[in-house]
Amino acid sequence: MNEPARVHGRVLIVAGSDSGGGAGIQADIKAVTALGGFAATAVTALTAQNTEAVFGVVPVAPDFIAEQMRRVLWDIGADCIKLGMLHDVAVIETVAGILAREVSSIPVVADPVMVAKGGAALLVPAATDSLKRRIVPLAHVLTPNVPEAEALTGRAIHTSDDMIGAARTLLGLGARSVLMKGGHLGGETVRDFLVTAEAVTEIAHPRVHTRHTHGTGCTLASAVATGIAQGLAVEAAVRRAIAYVQVALATAPGFGRGHGPLNHGHTVRPFSG
């Protein structure tokens, strides 16, 4: 029997649950595991959803979110923290407080989740300012798509130059680096930009034509977080994460009538016993 793969890189995921398994905590756990890391979680909200829509959201009390985070951090620890759905101001303030006061040395990958693939709001509109003030400055890597970057910066984004300009605005709000994702813009080639104070790095890749894109952002951010937890530099973590998601999109299992899930497990060989 082959030796089991070594689990390397602890990622604490602070995000909402997706009952359909394609996004949120479920996608995060799959991505971290598929890339050889260890995933722990602090659930911020429960959602009733499938590939077609989000049908309901039940928030988790902020004090209990904090309790989940502390219990994991005090025992298991974390090499990177990934932030996803932070539903409202109270949750944002609670999570940001723990990160700033108690674990400021651990890098944070923040995916500013605002709207589900089907259009349902996952962030209370009044919480956008709190997200900008409290979460963006904590981000070692911030991973907005075009609509999220527009909401956070107030800038219209139509071109690659607009993407880079928005990323620089987000750097000005305190993020250490910004991965601006270009999938919402047209073209057969998707252009993502990793922007820091020192450099702009374009990462271009072919567009995968599929309706099975549910959870792409969650998956990518968790893949980046896993790489950082495993000691990769940010650019190397981003490049590996994009390559992982490209295959996950291309080999999506085809489940559901709407925006279906990715194939998170394409790196995993079936256990033969």
User: Could you confirm whether 213 is annotated as catalytic?
Assistant: yes
Selected catalytic residue, list 9, 24, 84, 217: 217
- Res. 178: pLDDT tops 50: yes
Residue-level pLDDT at 1: 43
User: Could you confirm whether 215 is annotated as catalytic?
Assistant: yes
User: CB-based contacts of 166: which residues, under 8 Å, 6+ apart?
Assistant: 144, 149, 150, 152, 153, 155, 157, 180
Selected catalytic residue, list 33, 94, 153, 213: 213
Residue-level pLDDT at 116: 62
Selected catalytic residue, list 216, 219, 226, 227: 216
User: What crossing angle do the helices spanning 216-229 and 24-34 adopt, rounded to 10°?
Assistant: 40
Instruction: Tell me the CA distances in angstroms from 94 to 60, 71, 78, 138, one per residue in order.
Output: 12, 15, 18, 13
60 and 45 in contact (C-beta within 8 Å)? yes
How many angstroms separate the CA atoms of 144 and 165, rounded?
13
Residue-level pLDDT at 3: 56
Mean pLDDT of 6-19: 93
Question: Which pLDDT band, with edges at 50, 70 and 90, does 4 fall under?
Answer: low
Mean pLDDT of the chain: 93
What percent of the chain is modeled with pLDDT above 90? 85
Selected catalytic residue, list 22, 33, 47, 218: 218
Tokens found for residue 175: 């993020």
Residue-level pLDDT at 187: 87
Output phi, psi for 257, to 5 deg: -95, -10
Strands 38-49 and 10-18: parallel
CA 167 from chain centre, in angstroms, equals: 16
Selected catalytic residue, list 181, 182, 183, 227: 181
Tokens found for residue 116: 């589900």
The pTM score is 0.94
How many angstroms separate the CA atoms of 195 and 144, rounded?
12
Instruction: Map tokens 């080639």 to a residue.
Output: 189
- Res. 124: pLDDT tops 80: no
Q: Which of 172, 174, 166, 193 is nearest to 104 (CA)?
A: 174
User: Could you confirm whether 217 is annotated as catalytic?
Assistant: yes
10 Å Cβ neighbour count for 119? 8
pLDDT digits (tens, 9 = 90+) for 35-88: 999 999 999 999 999 999 999 999 999 999 999 999 999 999 999 999 999 989
pLDDT, greater one: 92 or 115:
92
**Any idea what DSSP says for residue 15?**
E
Residue-level pLDDT at 267: 96
User: CB-based contacts of 226: which residues, under 8 Å, 6+ apart?
Assistant: 9, 11, 31, 32, 35, 36, 37, 80, 237, 241
Helical segments of 156-254, H only: 160-172, 216-229, 234-250
Strand partners, 218: none
CA 273 from chain centre, in angstroms, equals: 33
Residue-level pLDDT at 137: 96
Strands (E), the chain: 10-18, 38-49, 54-59, 80-83, 108-110, 141-142, 178-180, 189-195, 200-206
Selected catalytic residue, list 215, 219, 226, 227: 215
Strand partners, 10: 38
37 and 10 in contact (C-beta within 8 Å)? yes
10 Å Cβ neighbour count for 43? 17
Mean pLDDT of 148-155: 92
pLDDT digits (tens, 9 = 90+) for 113-122: 886 665 566 7
pLDDT digits (tens, 9 = 90+) for 221-230: 999 999 999 9
- Res. 128: pLDDT tops 60: yes
